[in-house]
Structure 1
Amino acid sequence: MYKVLIFVLGLLVLNSCKNRTEGFQRTESSFNSDWAFTKDSTSLKWETVQIPHTPEIEPLVVNDQWQGDAWYKKTFERHPESKKSFLEFEGVMHEAWVWVNGHLLKHHQGGYLPFTVDMTDVLKIQNTLIVKVNNENNPHIPPGKPLEQLDFNYYGGIYRNVNLVETHSVYITDPVAANQVNSGGVLVHFDSVSKEKAMGLVKVHFRNESSEDKKISAKIVFKSPSGRTISKTTESAEVTSSTDRVLTTQIDIENPELWGIHSPKLYQVNVNLMEGETILDTKELTTGIRAIELNANGFFLNGENVFIQGTNRHQEYPYVGYAISDEANYRDAVKIKNAGFDFVRLSHYPQTEAFLDACDELGLLVMNCISGWQFFGGEEFQENAYQEIKDFARRDRHHPSIVFWENSLNESPMTEEFMMKANALLKAELPYEDTYSAGWIDHPSYDLYIPARQHAKAPTYWTDYEKNARKIFIAEYGDWEYYAQNAGFNQTAFENLSEDERTSRQGRGDGERRLLQQAFNFQEAFNSNLKGEHTIGHANWLMFDYNRGYADNIEHSGIRDIFRIPKFAYYFYKSQRSPAITYEAPLEAGPVVYIANYWTPTSPQAVRVFSNTDEVALYLNEKLIARQTPTRNAFSSALPHPPFEFKLSEFKAGTLKAVGYIDGEEVAIHEVKTPSEAQQIRLKVDTSGIGLSQKQDDIVFLHAEITDAEGTLVPGFEGEIKFSIESESAELIGQNPIKAEAGIASILLKTKTGSDVIMVVAKAEGLESEPLILRKKQK
């Protein structure tokens, strides 16, 4: 009997210890699968879809984008032990109504930032969720401008992730849902950063929705990139029932590992909300420690003066619009970094956190932007814009990649009152010396002036800016000044001023001369921008081609096309990065040499080679044409690495080979061969080093390259290619068959959870590819 009593007491002690260290633990799970969808809520037919989702698969050229109501429905079970249940919508375009079990719990306006729905009070064991989504023109919701006049498309649907969050009744809040100035959730900021020490603070905002008063503390653990652990516990605070509270503590880190462009070190931060020894809630985030400063001498990152080389990005994919996977967003970031850029402006709206996470991990600086383009609405519109400023500051404040906050409605006639209030709101949310606002109007309330190149006049543009009131970052260059000769903002009225051989809007299939002209336009503008005394950096317009919604063609000023295939201009930018910089895969850097020529009978005999080497030797059929240094002239005088220009006297079929040398040593080589007749199809999948997702639906580009018998691309091939697939866990999306452009045809492949094996083939008249076998990456 005594032994039995001891055993029972032992179990009670163990159970007591367990209860002291473990409360109900927060669970965060994907809510993306098994939704029902319809455009007609009265219909009995609902199709099964996965999130992210677009209500309409659009044509390749979108000039009459679908708009209207879309309905989503999902059934689910409540977790029996959770005290609080939330749904987090990362992005719904652009107005949403959310019902749970017949109760309207949320009406949200705004398509680019998240919102949270507290379902706790209406949940049963079995539950039905219904979401109505509308993306029709609405002058009250930024960007506000009617789609048929807007220079980009906003697509519909629940196009970003949905997450189910279940917590204890005492829980750490969501920073956006909390709607607290300079608070909400977990806030980490370092006010003083050097190589020797980083000093900052951590704020933890939580709610006590239990029926009891609580004495709460927070245990905060920083884990460095190298595995070093720094922990701190806040003082306990009494929190009465049904109230909220902030716990704040100072954090000092000796010899911090700093986040930078070439070495983006990241810290993992874990916060445990404690009642005594019991963990009530846990929240994790990733951040970086870096020092940024904008002063009279320029922009400084960790004490180093950096001239920022950047680009702009729209988050659109062909056919599916915005409904792309986290991995697809990451692949775009990889492509931007590999192009030689260290910066991206999120034109012209807040983009998904998955893309920001990629920028954090890859070392891309970011200009975060609110929604706006050439439209300034009334009072309700302005209030929604103010809320966007609050929300993007709260969502994104822990991303070390974000260095500028564009709280300005791009190219819109904002009032003095709006600009002053917008900047006051940002400074209230982020009241730190290293919070830098950016505006397209030269107004004293902004820390950084971000004109586009077309906002000035040729030939000097912004090189002669002398106000010296603030620094300049040229937010856009390379397109408009070569499109309509500074005709102004009215693109539709002046569209006929475009000259085919002059514009930067060149499709990948428009031929070598026009692709070379596009590359030259970017080069000329890039070179000019470097001469501005007060300019700290620039971003070209833009990285990827995109749809404009009102036009009968794709906007082709990207240095990669809408299928993410490079144009010649891509290699110009790639060559402007120092050859001394190297990265690990999936990133590419180091010495570059690229022949911007197909070497066919119709190709230019003035051969341009993009390279960051000291010298380039060009060979034709192994015979040396010339070995020379870069071509310095009025259009390349300030470039880090001017192109190399070679003049050949005649065309001879065969192989052009360029060899790059640094300090006399061969470091890079590139060859192009004269293609013969099309003989085969080579299939490729573009993962940019980011494997297919095992856990969620994913989306990637498939490219069918038409080659001759030796594997040389045939750029003149424009026949139709038909793709086909054998798999129950994948589908093809897009025009099929589709004409090849400059020898390459492309389509989207959407993968689903299920079988690991996917087989794709492509056919053209008289041609057929070998099967491409895709396997999802192993867990």
Structure 2
Amino acid sequence: MNTLDELGISQEFETKVHRNKLSFNQNWRFFRGDIQGSEEAKFDDSAWEIVHLPHTVRVEPAHCSGGLNYLGISWYRRHFYVDKAYNGQKIFVEFEGAKHTADVWINGKHLSTHYGGYLPFTLDITDHVTADGETDHVIVVKLDNSDMPDVPPGKPQGELDFCYYGGLYRNVWLHTTDKLHITDAVYANQQAGGGLFITYSDVSSLKAQVNIQTHISNEYEIPKACSVTHYIVNDNNEVVSKVSSSLHNIDQRKDHTFTQSVTVSEPKLWHPNHPYLYTVYTVLYDSDVVVDTYETRIGIRHIRFDGEGFHINGTLMKLIGANRHQEYVYVGDALSDSLHRRDAIKLREGGFTIIRTGHYPQSPAFMDACDELGLMCIVPTPGWQWFRDNDTFKERSYQDIREMIRYHRNRPSIVLWEPILNETDYSEQYTRTALEVTHAEYPGDQCYAACDNYRIAATHYDVVYGAALRDHQGSFIREWGDHYLEQAGPRHTHLRCSRGTRDFYPGGESGMLQSSKERTDILNNILATKGLSGGALWTGIDTNRGYYDNIAACGALDLYRLPKYSYYLFQSQSEPDLQISGIRTTPMVFIANDWTLASTRDITVYCNCERIRLYLNGRLLGVKKPDASYGSMPHAPFIFEGVEWEPGKLMAEAIVDDVIVATHSVMTPGTPDYLTLSVDDCGVDLKADGSDLIMVHVYVRDANGTVVPDAYNKIEFQLTGPAEIVGDGDSRVGSNPVEAEAGAIGVLIRATKEPGLITLLAESDGLKSATVEIISQPISKPFVPGKSQVPPDRKPEYEVDQIAFFSPPSSRYWEHWTDVAINKPAKASSELPGCSASQATSNIIADRWSERWSAGNNELPQWWKVDLEGFYELDGCKIYWESDNTEYEYQVEVSSGDIHWKAVAFQRQTGQEMGMDEFHEAGIRYVRIVMTDVSKGLPSFYVVKVFGKEM
């Protein structure tokens, strides 16, 4: 086989004479709020701050649930030159994503309004610029991420289970091409057309037919005789197949689609365990002159969903998946490409083989990583519990479906499209049309569309979420491992949990272990269900959301990408010997225990090997095989029951063929002694482009090096070198200093445009400090040049931020309060056996959150009270009722001496509503909850939190 070099083709791609892609990410002027006249070319933007993309409309606190993220107008302006080399060429600007409505001007002329924040749009600016290398052009973007009911997803932020965030939060590119060129699939806006569309037929290990559809536009004023040649190249740069078209005459201002087919012999098929990628090099000729070149990475594979499950390349495979929101702590949706890739690496290393990008298409950087890492994807159209039965909403939603397929259709990682609106009561007509649009955009047997099985017309879909409705229909569980009833606080499960014990949801060692055990049960059932393709955990990573003031703590990883126990459960499902570029799939073992006096004596170990040997302080406690009760899992947990506790070191050895292939140990933690820092790079360097981001984790350790799980020390960071701490100096954000959670936390670092050595110092009172060095690497990719920009003397102070800062939603006040009822004595007017008043005092240790107080009879009123054992200034309380479908009528009373009581709040709530009772009273020792009516059953709750400070 010849290489591209030997064929003399590689130079055509390397010189970039015909097609250029320049980063438009640097040196934008930005203003948050609305300023009249900002769209004008001569507007004075010198007082605006300079930002680099991807950029969030506002850096937010780590926990910004409850509608705290900025909603409103923002402006971006970019001054730029167009190089003389592009004179006579076509010039386009591509926005990968902009929230939610974007108005764009060039030199004061309005070009377009784009609706929707999760898919790209491209503008032709050829006739609006001068390619002389010196004319100062300005592109202006006005963004508005306010609630927009007719822009999918459409649901108001305050009622949404995730956060919209905003800004030019993905990359922006400047493309130049010849006037005779390969089109952009989204911009061309042709059904099943535009750009390159590559499909496969007759796929086997012996051969595969590669079908290539190429759309060419001739924007010359004269006809052009052109041809297209495709080279399919392997990872050694060897040409494995080539196909050329005959000359075709395209009239002026017209277009044509070439359809070609070529055979690849003995193809290396794409599979999650060996995600082999070829590259299609496309060359467009004007007669015999090269005028355009294009590169497309492909994976040759065949998929099928049917009544038996999911098949890839003829092999049945169970899919272990997770859902992923694109959010990252502090920066919202504005992840750098490197952060997207690191997320993909973490999820793939975590044992997941499929990701549902709930609830919208995601960044090409994340999708590129999925192609490379063998991480299959389900891609939904933007939507969440919202439907507007009007033409505007529906047509925008249909267009979203079209564009998400056109944008991502050549990716081997995508195995399922979700063209319906998540958990939404839409019409039958919408259901049918969404399916028709999907198959019209992707004809053939390799397009699968999914719908909830309870929807009208769901029987016509290729795959349903839930049980199949007909023979040969595929089925999948789109979300599992979470439950909406938990949104009101602790319930009968710990599926939502925190790494620590001071957050809204139960957590710490016992909370994480209980959550992991419950997920083990569910995962085993999913894998045991005949015909079910698999399921996707909700979620892979914790997220903020709009409609409640606590995060959705359902992730296997937290906001900072620190793992919970369940991460290791899923990681143990990977085979120990996979070789995938960019990730490590090695033998692993993890002891899910802190080994403290309060730890459970039943030791759970996650491992992907044959046997486990467990030692305590060097003594062999036993040898175990996986728990046989989880027989459907690739690698079930190992359980050592009733291990007698003694302080020291617990160690597990993973055994394969009598050889120790992995070990893990935990040691009884001591008192905090020192800090350590770890750069969470996942093998991906930090780039000095002004916007690249990297997380650094800080750990609180004892003298033996053990992370202290009950450490909540305040940690302060100092940074030197060409970088900054995201949110540093903004007390509203609270990123520096930050309080550790369960002995660990993270700090997010952003590179400047200067490469070099970055040094991060972490300090905490009473602990030895830590330092770590990071080198930001120089970049080579070309950027769009422009007039030199001088930053303002000081960063603008935004009026919209001051309003938000002084008037946060009242439901968020509790986050900053101290619960003063922890472990204080409580009494009640009556109690059900086994449900004592003291059990429901407040913040009971994590392994007792499932306990509750319940009245001993249904006589009303009933009361429960807590003695704070001191005098406090109180600001409110919060009650976590047992039932989500029972209404509890009650009043909150306070007293200084347990004699005279003052009513300070009166409510009627269910457990689902979890409202705050806000009041301000001083000199209070006792708080009493008096229940006056219950719609059914008995008065019953899990926890009461009382917020205030000691006087």
TM-based fold match above 0.5 = yes
Counterpart of 1:274? 285
Counterpart of 2:463? 448
2:475 to 469, 472, 475: 472
Displacement after TM superposition at 1:640 (Å): 2.5
Counterpart of 1:539? 536
User: 395-404 or 197-206, which moves further after superposition?
Assistant: 197-206
Counterpart of 2:124? 118
User: 199-208 or 337-346, which moves further after superposition?
Assistant: 199-208
Q: Are 2:499 and 2:564, in contact at CA under 8 Å, matched by a contact in 1? A: yes
Amino acid at match of 1:417: Q
Distance 1:235 1:441 in 2: 48
Distance 1:587 1:721 in 2: 31
Counterpart of 1:226? 236
Counterpart of 1:309? 320
Q: Are 1:617 and 1:624, in contact at CA under 8 Å, matched by a contact in 2? A: yes
Q: Are 1:22 and 1:280, in contact at CA under 8 Å, matched by a contact in 2? A: no
Counterpart of 2:309? 298
Amino acid at match of 1:79: D
User: 567-576 or 528-537, which moves further after superposition?
Assistant: 528-537
1:702 correspondence with 2:687:
no
Q: Deviations over 1:164-189 (max 9, x none)?
A: 00111112111000001111011211
1:624 to 598, 606, 620: 620
Task: Say which SS state the counterpart of residue 205 (structure 1) adopts.
Answer: strand
Distance 1:768 1:616 in 2: 36
Q: How does 1:233-248 map to 2 (within 5 A)?
A: 233-248=244-259
Counterpart of 1:75? 79
Q: Deviations over 1:58-111 (max 9, x none)?
A: 111112221001100011112224221100000001110110011111110010
Counterpart of 1:101? 107
1:366 correspondence with 2:377:
yes
Distance 1:586 1:197 in 2: 28
Distance 1:136 1:714 in 2: 43
Q: Are 2:180 and 2:291, in contact at CA under 8 Å, matched by a contact in 1? A: yes
Distance 2:307 2:566 in 1: 32
Distance 1:112 1:770 in 2: 40
Q: Are 2:755 and 2:778, in contact at CA under 8 Å, matched by a contact in 1? A: no
Q: Deviations over 1:258-292 (max 9, x none)?
A: 11111111111121211122111122111111111
1:503 to 462, 482, 494: 494
- Percent identical across equivalent pairs? 36
Q: 1:690 to 1:274 in 2, by over 3 A?
A: same
1:410 correspondence with 2:407:
no
2:31 to 22, 38, 54: 38
Distance 1:585 1:688 in 2: 12
Q: Are 1:468 and 1:534, in contact at CA under 8 Å, matched by a contact in 2? A: no
Counterpart of 2:203? 193
Distance 1:385 1:439 in 2: 15
Distance 1:628 1:168 in 2: 67
Q: Deviations over 1:183-237 (max 9, x none)?
A: 1011211122111111132121121111211111112111112332122211111
Displacement after TM superposition at 1:727 (Å): 1.9
Counterpart of 1:458? none
Q: 1:638 to 1:658 in 2, by over 3 A?
A: same
1:517 correspondence with 2:535:
no
Counterpart of 2:712? 718
Displacement after TM superposition at 1:467 (Å): 5.1
Task: Say which SS state the counterpart of residue 703 (structure 1) adopts.
Answer: strand
Distance 1:649 1:309 in 2: 32
Distance 2:746 2:720 in 1: 18
1:688 correspondence with 2:682:
yes
Displacement after TM superposition at 1:346 (Å): 0.6
Q: How does 1:378-397 map to 2 (within 5 A)?
A: 378=389, 379-397=391-409
Q: 1:430 to 1:606 in 2, by over 3 A?
A: same
2:185 to 155, 161, 175: 175
Q: How does 1:483-494 map to 2 (within 5 A)?
A: 484=485
Q: How does 1:415-434 map to 2 (within 5 A)?
A: 415-434=427-446
Unaligned runs of 5+ in 1: 1-17, 452-461, 486-490
Unaligned runs of 5+ in 2: 1-10, 39-44, 501-506, 728-733, 780-951
Q: Deviations over 1:328-369 (max 9, x none)?
A: 100000001111111111111000111110000001111111
Displacement after TM superposition at 1:631 (Å): 2.5
Counterpart of 1:728? 722
Q: Are 2:757 and 2:773, in contact at CA under 8 Å, matched by a contact in 1? A: yes
Distance 1:210 1:191 in 2: 36
Counterpart of 1:610? 606
Distance 1:30 1:760 in 2: 29
TM-score, normalization by structure 1: 0.91
User: 703-712 or 317-326, which moves further after superposition?
Assistant: 703-712
Q: Are 1:729 and 1:755, in contact at CA under 8 Å, matched by a contact in 2? A: no
Amino acid at match of 1:749: I
Displacement after TM superposition at 1:651 (Å): 2.1
Amino acid at match of 1:705: Y
Q: Are 1:394 and 1:429, in contact at CA under 8 Å, matched by a contact in 2? A: yes
Counterpart of 2:745? 745
Q: Are 1:25 and 1:282, in contact at CA under 8 Å, matched by a contact in 2? A: yes
Task: Say which SS state the counterpart of residue 368 (structure 2) adopts.
Answer: helix
Distance 1:696 1:268 in 2: 30
Residue-pair matches, total: 734
Q: 1:619 to 1:585 in 2, by over 3 A?
A: farther
Amino acid at match of 1:562: L
Displacement after TM superposition at 1:704 (Å): 1.0
Over aligned residue pairs, what C-alpha RMSD do you find?
Answer: 2.0
Displacement after TM superposition at 1:297 (Å): 2.8
Displacement after TM superposition at 1:752 (Å): 2.2
1:557 correspondence with 2:554:
yes
Amino acid at match of 1:726: T
Q: How does 1:196-207 map to 2 (within 5 A)?
A: 196-207=206-217
Task: Say which SS state the counterpart of residue 260 (structure 2) adopts.
Answer: strand
Counterpart of 1:61? 63
Counterpart of 2:568? 571
Amino acid at match of 2:461: Y
Counterpart of 1:12? none
Displacement after TM superposition at 1:484 (Å): 2.2
Distance 1:346 1:222 in 2: 29
Counterpart of 2:588? 592
Q: Deviations over 1:359-402 (max 9, x none)?
A: 00001111111111111113211111100111011000110000
User: 146-155 or 662-671, which moves further after superposition?
Assistant: 662-671
Displacement after TM superposition at 1:123 (Å): 1.1
User: 568-577 or 112-121, which moves further after superposition?
Assistant: 568-577
Distance 1:401 1:586 in 2: 16
Displacement after TM superposition at 1:22 (Å): 9.8
Distance 1:233 1:173 in 2: 18
Displacement after TM superposition at 1:671 (Å): 0.6
TM-score, normalization by structure 2: 0.75
Counterpart of 2:347? 336
Displacement after TM superposition at 1:37 (Å): 0.3
Q: Are 1:188 and 1:200, in contact at CA under 8 Å, matched by a contact in 2? A: yes
Displacement after TM superposition at 1:632 (Å): 2.8
